[in-house]
Each structure stands twice: as C-alpha cells, then as structure tokens.
Structure 1
Amino acid sequence: MSAKYNYLFKFVVVGDTGVGKSCILLQYTDHRFQPVHELTIGVEFGARTIKINSETIKLQIWDTAGQESFRSITRSYYRGAAGTLLVYDITRKETFDHLKAWLEEAREHSENLEIMLIGNKKDLKHRREVSYEQGEKFARENNLQFLETSAKENENIEEAFLQISKKIYEKIQNRSNEKDITGVSKRTQTPTRKIDDESYQETSGGGCC
C-alpha cells in the first residue's frame, strides 16, 4: 500500500544531455551521487514525499533525455505537469544558450507551469563558463525561480524542489478549486482523485545525463 499523502505534484526535469539531470534526481530521491552513468533513454522516474504546512506532498519526478532523438517522448511528459526544473551546466555555455528553446517548448506544451532554473555543477566553479549573474538575469527576464546547485555535493538540491513545491502549494491555497491547477492531485479517503487524467507507474532507473 502506498504511503498516505494530501497532494501529488508532477515534475519534469529537462535540459541538454550531460547537465546532471539524472544526478539531481538520484541525489534527491536516493541521497547518493553516481557520477558515471549511461545516458537516459527516454525518461526515468523517481518519487519522494515532503511536508508543507503540515500537509504531506508526494512529488512524482520525471527525468527526461536531452538528446534530440528523444524530444518527441520528452514533450509528451509535459502534459499534466505542475512544475519543471530547467537545468544547464555552468561549465558548458552551450547548455545555457539552449535554455530559450527548452523554455519555449515547456511553455508551449503546458500552460501555467511553475519553472525553476537550475545552474548545476556548482562544485566545478573553477571551470565556470556561465556566471551566476547570467543565470539570474535569464531567470528574472523569464519570470523563473533560480538556484545554482551541485548534485555531487548535494548543495541546494533539497532547496530547489522545496521552493518550487511551495510555489505550487501557494497556488492551491489561493484558488477555490484545485482542479484548475495542472499536474496536481488531491488525495481523499477513496483512491486518489486525479486532477489531470495522466496515469503513472512508479519505476526507477540510473543515468546521470
């Protein structure tokens, strides 16, 4: 039997190949760092529960492949998402340059997403190609939340998911009908009532792309 929770939030993690999306997911859900992995093929899944204002929130997190050949699969996972983590690698400027395309795609396929911009691999700041100020400016201009993280050192990983979850939770409290909020399910005494019609299956996998 699954653990009890009040709400379920669906997240999608997107960005170029090799920016550390799978490492972020693994660190957040399994509390471990595995630096060498095969590239994610299609999507991988993780889940975790958190507390916000004494309510239990289950996070359903989909880690997507960054390769162009899997983009059609990735796009389908935006459907029904409440939030997106948009990830780039601070040591590879091309991954930052591609953010605009990723952001346009996310907003095209799912309206009213809460989006958190993540500058990953903060532990490699000696190889930095994208300044903190550049990331902050992009986030401000596009109305995104922003953090720099290190999946290796578990820096700001918890905070990233907590911040974006709080924003979604605030939306729920400010609306009379949570059905208006995409990607959120409210659990009742009967089996979970899905607010979107997306079904899911809990699986897990490796990958640090």
Structure 2
Amino acid sequence: MAGMLEQDVDTTLKVIVVGNGQVGKTSMITRFAKGIFTNEYKKTIGVDFLEKKTYLSAVGEEVTYLLWDTAGQEEYDAITRTYYKGAGACILAFSTIDRDSFDAVESWYQKVTDECGTIAMVLVQNKVDLMDDAAMEPKEVEMLAKKLRLKLYRTCVKDDLNVSEVFQHLGSEFVRSGGEAALGKSSMMSMEEVASKPMVDRSNAKSAGGGGTPSDKPAGSTNDQAFKLGAGGKPSVQRTGGKKNKYGPCSIL
C-alpha cells in the first residue's frame, strides 16, 4: 500500500527564469512549454506562469514543471522576488548581444541565492545565432560560469537550440538532490501561497488583474494565457505536450 501511494505522488518542480529584460526569458519558457516562438516583444510586468509535464529518461521519472517568468526591470524587483519562494531550480539568462545583461548575472545570482539558498541552477547565454555581434568574449562567459560554479548552456530560442536540454538538466538535478523533500516545502505549496497575491499581466494589459496577451502568443490565438487566478484563488495554467529538440547539444561547460 505504501508503495502504491509513493508512486501516486507527482514530482513538481518550480523553475524561475531571471535576468535583465529582453534576454529571452519569456520566449524560453514558451518555447519549452508550448513549442512556439515569435519575434514580438512585450515587457513582462510582475510574473507570468506556464506548466509542462515531461518524462526525464535520465532519472526515470515524470516531472511537472511550474515555469515562472519574472520581470527583469528593477522597478519590479520587490514583486518578483516574492515569487522566488519555493523554487527548486533557476535559469540565469543573458543575451549574447547585451553586455549589461551579462554584467548583471552576478547580481541576479545573489538575489536568487539570498531568497532560495542552494538550488539547481544554470547559466544560459541566449541568442547565440547572433555571435557575430557578441558583446562579450566566449572566454569571459566561460570564466563567469566557472566562478559561479554553474553549468553553461548556449541557446538559441528562435531555432530551439538547447532549450529542452536546459530544463531536462535542471529537472534531473532536482530529482537527484532529493526533489521537493529536500526543499522542506514543495514548490506547489509555494505557488498556492502566492496565488492570492495581486498580479499584473503584460504591459498591454487593460487592468492590473490581466486582460493582456503573453509576449509569445501567436497572432490569432485565443486559447493560451499567462498565469491568472481562477475560482477559489487557484491558478489557471496551461498543460502542454512534449517536443523534442531537433538540434544536437551546443557548447556546454
């Protein structure tokens, strides 16, 4: 009986994606969760939320990812740091063509560790398709990853390069480290705690409660939405199917 109950418990992983604005955080979680990408950019205000369930062959376990896309602007720092609570993994993202986003990585790392302690974390250099216009040298990036003791992934969300690999690695590390039990409090519990807090949607929202459109929502689509509160104060989320990366692994430390 105990064995049956143990199998019925799903592994849930809350992943926060942090970094300066316009580095591709929203595009990254949307590509992973929905398998879509658009070039349209709309600033995230507060936090957006998506969900995806996938099987991780590396650990032989199915994991439900709760994907939290946080605003990268300093004026929203007090809001977004509230949503770090209960995170089991973090993506530190910067853009290949944005030097400021690279220089800010250590500051984002400190914010996350201050709130979450030691959790599974990776450094992601996005937009590697624009390496000809890179604002930093590859050696600088590798040295930063070594300094922070983080695995480095070089990604291109537009071409779906290494996006799934990032999340698969974090999920596997989370499970290997003991999962939700190691956090002392499940990420799902944390999500429910903050669900009743005020939230705002995209910068084109009609009101603070929502009405806007996620930045990566394709034209004409009406079904997929960012995180919104439903009946009883519970979040309404989008469940999506899996999608394999058609590219091989990129440069990883």
Find the aligned partners of 1:207 and 1:40 in 2 and give their Cα distance.
8
Counterpart of 2:66 in structure 1 is: 60
TM-score (ref. length: structure 1): 0.84
Summarize deviations over 1:41-88 as a string: whole Å, max 9, x none.
111011111212332100001000111111111111111000110100
Which 4+ runs in 1 deviate beyond 4 A?
182-185
Q: Which runs of 5+ in 1 are unaligned?
A: 186-193
User: Which of the residues 83, 91, 111 maps onto 1:85?
Assistant: 91
Q: What corresponds to 1:27 in structure 2?
A: 31
Q: How does 1:14-53 map to 2 (within 5 A)?
A: 14-52=18-56, 53=59
- Asked if 2 retains the 8 angstrom alpha-carbon contact of 1:150 and 1:157, the reply is yes
| Larger strand proportion of the pair | 1
Any idea what SS the aligned residue of 1:129 has? coil
Corresponding residue for residue 215 of structure 2: 207
- Quick check: 1:149 aligned with 2:151? no
Deviation sequence 1:135-154 (CA, Å, 0-9, x none)? 22111111112101011100
Superposition map of 1:1-209 within 5 A:
6-52=10-56, 53-172=59-178, 178-181=180-183, 184=186, 196-199=189-192, 206-207=214-215
Which entry has the higher C-alpha Rg, 1 or 2?
2
Q: Which runs of 5 or more structure 2 residues have no equivalent in the other structure?
A: 1-7, 196-200, 202-211, 217-253
One-letter identity of the residue aligned with 2:87:
A
More relative contact order in 1 or in 2 (CA 8 Å, sep 6+)?
A: 1
Deviates more, 1:39-48 or 1:132-141: 132-141
| CA positional deviation for 1:132 | 2.7
- Write the distance in 2 (CA, Å) between the matches of 1:206 and 1:18: 14
Q: Is the 8 A contact 2:86 2:183 kept in 1?
A: no
Deviates more, 1:153-162 or 1:134-143: 134-143
Identity, % of aligned pairs? 25
Residue 5 to residue 156, structure 1, CA distance change in 2 (3 Å): farther
Cα gap change, 1:118/1:182 in structure 2, threshold over 3 Å: closer, same or farther? Answer: farther
Displacement of 1:164 after TM fit?
Answer: 1.2
For normalisation by structure 2, the TM-score amounts to 0.70
- For residue 181 of structure 1, report the CA deviation from its aligned partner: 2.4
Residue 33 of structure 2 contacts residue 52 of structure 2 at CA under 8 Å; is this kept in 1? yes
- Aligned length, in residue pairs: 191
Find the aligned partners of 1:115 and 1:183 in 2 and give their Cα distance. 18
* Contact 2:85–2:190 under 8 Å retained in 1: no
The answer as to whether partners of 1:13 and 1:63 remain within 8 angstroms in 2 is yes
Q: CA deviation at 1:179?
A: 2.2
Q: Offset at 1:12?
A: 0.5
Distance in 2 between the 1:75 and 1:5 partners?
28
